[in-house]
A and B are shown apart, each in its own frame.
Chain A
Amino acid sequence: MSGNDETSQELTRLWRITRTVKTMCLDRGYELTEDECAIPLSEFRDQVCDSEGAPQRTKMVFTARPSAGMLKRYTPLPTTRRGTEGPVQTTGEPTIGTIHVEFNPSTSVGIKDLKVFAQLLQEKNYYTGIFITQASPTSSALKIIPSLLPIQMEIFKEEDLLVNISRHELVPKHLLLSPEEKRGLLERYRLKETQLPRIRVDDPMARYLGLRRGQVVKIIRKSETAGRYASYRWVI
């Protein structure tokens, strides 16, 4: 009976994690439906449990494509380059693509596990990979991540995803600005980006939104005097 209890507890845990991860992807702008994010527990059990009722992490893998709005937000500004026959306008490729989410069943994560995942991302041509582990990976394993660029690999711990932090009442709303919006902001206030307040890339909300260095995020918080108050932060 106790074993049964444990599996059902584990199932609930994984169900909550899945919901958070999918909501996270939706908030970032990937193509997911609200129904997918708010999957009921019974349906989740049918999807991921094996014949004995134990949840299988390998069955929880999913991929999502970016929506049109997200692609636009990640397209860099067109640059004018001096060519052989006058100036040439080049529109940048959107720096975003398919996201792949995988759950790791092992209790300790080393270099080898992350290498296997990195190879999968490269083979399948995924732009972003999210690797969800039970224990935090070793410090040397984390050194793989910068070597993979431009492929983005993000690592989350399961316990960090049990609760969706962006829905907490003390967490203000974070919105990523597109390059045009960023330029508009800097022109409007006659600023250089270095003059903005900053937010670190390893900030929990920055990790939630998958922010990258150099982007600007708009933070809207409630204010007793002004109703709503918006501030901008530069990701470093």
Chain B
Amino acid sequence: MSTYAIYGRSSNAAGAWLNETAGGARRQRSQPTLSDEQKATAETNRKHLNTALWHANKIQHRKDVEARIFGNIETLLEFPSANPFTSVDVSRFTSLVRSFQPSDFDNLIEERRIDGKCGYALCSNAPRTESLGTSAAWKLKAKAASDYCSDDCTRKSLYVKTQLNEVPAWERDPAQHPKVVVHLDDRASATRVQPAIATRAVPPRATQNDLALERGDTTSSMRPSQVMTSTVVEHTNTDRATTRPPDAEVASHTAIEGYEPTSGSVVMQPPKMSSVEAVSLEISIAEPSTAMDDEEADSWRDLFSNVSER
């Protein structure tokens, strides 16, 4: 098998060589004087032709792309096809606008305004230049605002424009074509096929309530679980009494404000209890009442007992 292949290859090569020599002989017979100089000029001519063709094709490609963009602008002048635009409109709009530069998008807006339509291609209202007349120039601060029917449309249009690629379409790689999406509001209304203007005009009520709740504007904003409630509870058995020795009669010199520190080997001399039953204000925190650890409970208890003595 391998020998056959080798033979085959060699015979092919030999054939090619034979053909070449034969062709060369024929050429020499028909054109006896083909000098090196002539060959070189032919070579450079071919090179020049190739370069010229390459540039010509590039220019032609650019012209084709520009014509296509112009066609897209013309198509988008007629948008939207129905008054509340459909999801078909949205998908067509995003696909047509993909090859645009931001400047092409500006051209589209200008053309639509001249044509008496809102600059945003998915809106069929008249722009404010028409609805406000000549006063639009001084009533609207931003000049671009008069190209649209509302600030909403201005925003949505800008949302699309910022997604476009600055690189002209004829110089882009296929991967450089941006993926254009319309504004969130329009995405939602296009899927639901509802009148877009209606959904746009009324802000969702739920969010307003939520905001009020957060601010504390309504009564429902109160969260009872986190508010302190005070209840007076009679302090019947003081467990501190059990820790005190029964013979404590006189306040010792070591007592601080009537309280004997427990540390040390000194025998504790608890203050004399007043005849009045100790009453403490117990502050209860409803939610984490069980979570209080012992140390904390002790310190609270000490505090209350002092309060009651004074």
**Interface, chain A (partner B; CB < 8 A):** 108-112, 138-141, 143, 147
Contact = CB atoms under 8 A, between A and B. Distances in A.
Interface residues of B, number: 13
B66 A111 contact: no
Interface of B: 66-67, 70, 73-74, 77, 104, 107-108, 110-111, 114-115
Contacts, number: 30
Contacts of B74: 111
Contacts of A110: 110-111, 114-115
Nearest to A135: B114
A57 to B, nearest CB: 18
B77 A111 contact: yes
A147 B67 contact: yes
Nearest to B67: A147
A138 B115 CA distance: 12
A221 to B, nearest CB: 36
A143 B70 contact: yes
A112 B70 contact: no
B67 A111 contact: no
A140 B72 CA distance: 11
Contacts of B114: 108-110, 112, 138
A147 B70 CA distance: 11
A112 B78 CA distance: 11
Give the top 7 A-B pairs by smallest Cβ distance, nearest first: A110-B114, A140-B107, A108-B114, A110-B111, A143-B70, A138-B110, A111-B111
A139 B105 CA distance: 12
In the complex, which of the residues B66, B67, B114 has the most CB atoms of chain A within 10 Å of its own CB atom?
B114
Contacts of B115: 110, 112
7 contacts: A112-B114, A112-B115, A140-B70, A140-B107, A140-B108, A141-B111, A147-B67
A108 B107 CA distance: 13
Contacts of B73: 111, 140
B70 to A, nearest CB: 5
A39 B67 CA distance: 43
Nearest to B70: A143
Nearest to A144: B70
Contacts of A112: 77, 114-115
A125 B57 CA distance: 33
A8 B251 CA distance: 116
